[in-house]
Chain A
Amino acid sequence: MIPKIEYFSPVNLTELLKLLDRHQQAAKIIAGGTDIIAGFHQGSARFKGIKYLIDLNWIDELKKVELSSDGIVIGSAASFSEILKNELINHHFPLLSTAASRVGSVQIRNRATIGGNFVNNAPCADSVPALLVYDAEIRIRSVEAERAVSLADFLLKPYQTQLRSDEVVTQIRLPFLSENYLGDFYKLGRRRGVAISRITLAVLMKLVESKIDDIRIASGAVTPIGKRFVSLEQFARGKTVSDHLYRELARMLGNEILDATGLRWSSAYKLPVVQQTFYQQLQHIYQTGNLR
């Protein structure tokens, strides 16, 4: 059940930051509520001891999606439905649109927010791999300061981030990519409709004359938190694409995941499947030439 709480509906950032500053650990930010209200019902330890709920829904600037000089800026309280229908995102960052389309159900997407997805930092957060390959940078505000941090650095371990109790994530900034990126987002669930991810993979690749000029690889649900595979990316850069290379990369991804995760109950399934899936994805990207 939902504990007895005091509820705040600040209408601007200043008000919000003051409230956070005043209540610190006793306060929790609520946006879509899809994690927190379900979590209350299930008696989740993550939501124990909360006395104040501070709602982001009344602050319009946190819901905007805008162009900036070098990319787009997504308000942290933008819902997945808004992201899904946003033309800018669809055009410039289609893997994020695809990821958004695979989050929960229509009802969940209408409420759940992009900020909530990674601030909650569940291993299976669908948008995280897509944001990671786009080199998402997030903006964090407190009464005292604003700071910028890459999403990759922001995520610490399952259900833990750098976010302090007096802070709020205000924006996600995605820098434009140069032209000629190919890419794909893949999600595997236990069923087709509304499913928690078993595996997510996001891949971006830029080829120059059959050589990999840039490649970005991120996964979710197979590692403790969403993760970029930097050394694998480095290995691949400059190499000429071939079936052989794809096979080698897929083999190596399995090793990297095993190193990062150790053996889990699900490893026997997930490791070979993620290798096979990644191999397919590279083939698919090369063959269909999907932009970004």
Chain B
Amino acid sequence: MKKTFNLVGKPVIRQDGYSKVTGKARFADDINYPDQLFGVMVRLPIAHARIKKIDFSEIENHPSVITICTAGDISGSNISGIIKQDQPVFCDQKIVTPGDVVAMLVGEDEELLRQLAGKVKYEIEPLPALTDPRKALDSDAVLIHPESKSNLIVHYPLRKGDIERGFSQSDHIVEQTYTTQLIEHGYIEPETVIAIPLAADRSVKIIGSIQNPFTARRIVAQALDLPLTRVRVEQAELGGSFGGKDDTMDILSARAAVAALKTGRPVKIRYRREESVLESYKRHPYILHYKVGFSREGKIKAMKIDILADGGAYASMSPFVTWRSVAQATGPYEVENVCTDVRAVYTNNPYTGAMRGFGSPQPIFAQESIMDEIANQLGKTPDEIRWINCLHSGSITATGQKLEKHDVNLIKVLDTAVQKTNFSRQWQACKDKNKSILPFIQKTHASQADKSLLLESEDLVAPDLLLRKGIGLALSYRGCSLGAEGIDAAAAYLSVQPDGSLYLVSGLAENGQGMRTTFSIIAAETLGLSVEDIHYLELDTGIVPDSGPTVASRSTLMGGGAVKIAAEIVRDRLQKFLCDFWKLNKQDVLCFEKNKVFSESDPQKTLRFSEVCQLAYRKGVCLAAIGWYPGPKVDWDESVGQGAAYFTYVYGCQVAEVTVNLGTGEVYVDRVVAVHDPGKVINLLGAQGQVYGGVTQGAGYGLWEEISSADGFIRELNFDQIFIPTSKDVGEIVPVFVEGDDQHGPWGAKSLGEPTLELTAAAIANAVRNAVGVRFFNLPLNLEEIVLKRKLKPGGLKRGSAV
């Protein structure tokens, strides 16, 4: 273990920063080919129907339509899917959600094609739309994918201990149901991809806003029936993803590739915002039922959890998203008796898949709300109740895994957060002050939709009583990387040049999070260089091994591990070479620091790194290496949900302070103190940025964001109605890092991106409870939820906020 660092843990300026502040960075839509064509989608305005006939006669001879691509043009498999194969590249049998695409018009004039797309005629047999996930498993429910025999995408049971005995040993039982909403990723860059036919080697090149180039390659190769090597996917600069530019982009890549090979010309697809929101997948809405038994001292004895996730029209990542939920649904607590069932079902709603958090924000909202309810019931403070139950070193998790071989810093992050915010005192003070529930709120919460919702003059509340302060916390543990849900290994390629500068690239993707810089720091630290010596290459599936997807906050841990290994391979070769050159003992350790290499025992023996490389190069030393970082073994028994789900964990605690306006339902987040153990911080600037960004997204999830749909049709298609936070909407955010030791990852560095987001909504909800004296069960805690304790939905689908 290295004690002091030259770069690691310090604020380092992004490597790609220069190109991004000058407008020179090339995002997918900034790339054009002179003879490129555009692809424009044809959709049918229905959520569920059998397709009988698509009639292009009115447009197929139009001079601007160069070709029309449909399922018939797919030489390989038209059915794609990362886990379960159920999503057509082009629909030809059924429409199962309004985002579905039946054909793509290809031509030079994109705008004209958009108009022509509306002239495609069709015959369909409408089918009943299934939009309520609670009805998906009814015996008379219409089947979304009849070949699956059921609308059940996946069911994960978890059984630990004896749930009935656990409840019988409990002094108290709480039973509550929580719901969370559908939300959009809200990346500012809409989806764009270009496919370029490479006639000479009968292959196709794809450049796009693609989160996972290797997955895109697999889907494209499968659709075109080509060997993987004939599909090269290059990632353009990516304008935000948050888990959202995977499945959609894979299918878009396949459509573009089909058209490119068909026409022999480059084909670009670029989505407008409305199309992006319509077709792309979202975060799962969950219905979460928790029954928790506990002793009068506050010790949890049993948890029975039932979770239903709306997977929408396609399976997408539902099997993995809900798997994380089942593993983590109890929260970071020691519970002897657990019985959890998580199900994901098909509906005709927009499909749901990966989004930052990935099956954790939903159960955390429910479980952390319930922890506070238990505290309230027992007259304890929220931190006390967590203290009594929380995981520590040697604890057994709900999946039967013993937490060991790393710092289990849960109590440490909790204590740090509590101290930094003077939590217990503040919480108690707010609770006492906010004890009375305003008559106004009592009345509006009890109201039904008729004239009685008008207030009488005595209901009106003096202005100074309306603003309420509250404080709340939420705690989590999070399994790092993919866990038992997937194959877990990553690669990095590092090539030192004879002048001492070096190329670096990993098979993971820069999605804006700052991965290139983090990896460059790791390589530079290992070789004693500065970040400027490293040139990070653009990711292309042709130049580096498949490293799995850039998801699950695994980049620093897995890819960073691979970079460190690659750098160490080269360093070891240089060390060996220099020991020979300087005639030192093989055991002598050389220091690589400040662009120099020197012997600790003999300070005379010093060379600049560039000189060493020059010498080694001339002597035929291989200065390039591939680092391969395989994830340690995990195991899982799917029938009972038991096993070592993840090889290591990170821990976090966020405290939110809010002001609630009871007269309007506005919640303002005054401050969030976010305490996280990410293992080791590599780039302080980047780590802080993850916290600011994650907390802000979490606040949006907690308070404003919601995609509502009626009959499967989305109402909010653009940023005039999708309320992601602006610069004015969230108060102070205070990142605090409690670093823990771990044998995995570069110097113990693990995960941070998702932990920062998953806690915020839950912490805010607990702060609101503290402020209002009422528990809210349904996200988002928007204006109507606070004032009425229910959601209001417009009847029609018209845009804009009319009355």
Contacts and interface: CB of A to CB of B under 8 A. Distances in A.
Interface stretch (B231-239, B458-466, B589-597, B610-618): B458-466
A280 B666 CA distance: 15
Interface stretch (B121-129, B489-497, B784-792): B784-792
B723 interface: yes
Specify the main secondary structure of chain B where it touches its partner. Answer: loop
B440 interface: yes
Contact of A273 (B443, B665, B726): B665
A269 B466 CA distance: 16
A188 B787 CA distance: 14
A275 B460 contact: yes
A279 B460 contact: yes
Interface stretch (B9-17, B142-150, B795-803): B795-803
Contact of B453 (A42, A188, A195, A271): A271
A280 B467 CA distance: 12
Contacts of A195: 723
Interface in B767-800: 782-784, 787-788, 792-795, 799-800
A272 B449 contact: no
A250 B460 contact: yes
Contacts of A91: none
A269 B457 contact: no
B456 interface: yes
Contacts of A247: 457-458, 460
A196 B719 CA distance: 11
B755 to A, nearest CB: 25
Given A123-B802, A188-B664, A276-B455, A265 B788 contact: no
B792 A266 contact: yes
A191 B726 contact: yes
A190 interface: yes
A222 B803 contact: yes
The 8 residue pairs across chains A and B that have the minimum distance between CB atoms: A193-B726, A247-B457, A193-B728, A192-B728, A276-B663, A251-B457, A279-B460, A254-B454
Interface in B267-285: 272, 274
B668 interface: yes
A46 to B, nearest CB: 11
Contacts of B443: 272
A276 B792 contact: no
B633 interface: no
B43 to A, nearest CB: 14
Given A271-B453, A273-B665, A277-B663, A283 B463 contact: yes
A224 B801 CA distance: 11
Nearest to B450: A263
Given A188-B666, A224-B803, 20 more contacts: A41-B272, A190-B704, A191-B725, A191-B726, A192-B729, A193-B725, A248-B457, A251-B460, A263-B451, A266-B803, A268-B447, A271-B454, A272-B787, A273-B665, A276-B440, A276-B461, A276-B466, A276-B663, A277-B663, A284-B463
Contact of B794 (A41, A193, A196, A265): A265
A196 B800 CA distance: 8
Contacts of B639: none
A276 B793 CA distance: 22
A269 B462 contact: no
A1 interface: yes
Contacts of A270: 803
B456 A251 contact: yes
Nearest to A122: B800
B58 interface: no
Nearest to B724: A191
8 contacts: A198-B783, A263-B450, A268-B792, A272-B443, A272-B454, A272-B787, A273-B665, A276-B466
Contacts of A197: 801
A210 interface: no
Question: Taking each of A196, A248, A284, which has the highest tally of chain B beta carbons within 10 Å of its own beta carbon?
Answer: A196
Contacts of B665: 269, 273
Q: Report, as a range, how many residues of chain A touch the other chain.
A: 35 or more
Contacts of A122: 800
Given A191-B723, A221-B801, A268 B463 contact: no
A255 interface: yes
Question: Taking each of B274, B455, B720, which has the highest tally of chain A beta carbons within 10 Å of its own beta carbon?
Answer: B455
A261 interface: yes
A99 to B, nearest CB: 17
B788 A258 contact: no
Contacts of B729: 191-193
Contacts of A258: 451, 454
A31 interface: no
Interface in A213-269: 221-224, 244, 247-248, 250-251, 254-255, 258, 261, 263-269
A194 interface: yes
A49 interface: no
A266 B788 contact: no
A158 interface: yes
A265 B793 contact: yes
Contact of B454 (A123, A255, A264, A284): A255
Interface of B: 111, 114, 272, 274, 440, 443-444, 447, 449-451, 453-463, 466, 663-666, 668, 704, 718, 720, 723, 725-729, 782-784, 787-788, 792-795, 799-803
A132 interface: no
A124 interface: yes
B243 to A, nearest CB: 23
B682 to A, nearest CB: 32
Question: Taking each of A247, A275, A284, which has the highest tally of chain B beta carbons within 10 Å of its own beta carbon?
Answer: A275
Contacts of A276: 440, 455, 460-461, 466, 663-664
A269 B455 CA distance: 11
Contact of B803 (A221, A268, A280): A221
Nearest to B790: A268
B211 to A, nearest CB: 27
Nearest to B785: A269
Contacts of A1: 111, 114
B448 to A, nearest CB: 8
A264 B663 contact: no
A123 B798 CA distance: 14
A195 B784 CA distance: 16
B782 A190 contact: yes
Contacts of B788: 268-269
Contacts of A266: 792, 794, 803
Contact of B801 (A194, A198, A244, A280): A198
Contacts of A244: 457
A266 B782 CA distance: 13
B705 to A, nearest CB: 10
Given A223-B803, A247-B460, A190 B454 contact: no
Given A191-B704, A268-B788, A280 B663 contact: yes
A10 to B, nearest CB: 28
A193 B727 contact: yes
Nearest to A248: B457
B668 A192 contact: yes
Contacts of B725: 191, 193
Interface string A34-75: 000010011000000000000000000000000000000000
Nearest to B796: A265
A269 B787 contact: yes
B455 A275 contact: yes
Contacts of A41: 272
A41 to B, nearest CB: 8
A248 B800 CA distance: 32
Contacts of B723: 190-191, 195
A55 to B, nearest CB: 22
A158 B463 contact: no
Contacts of A273: 663-665, 783, 787
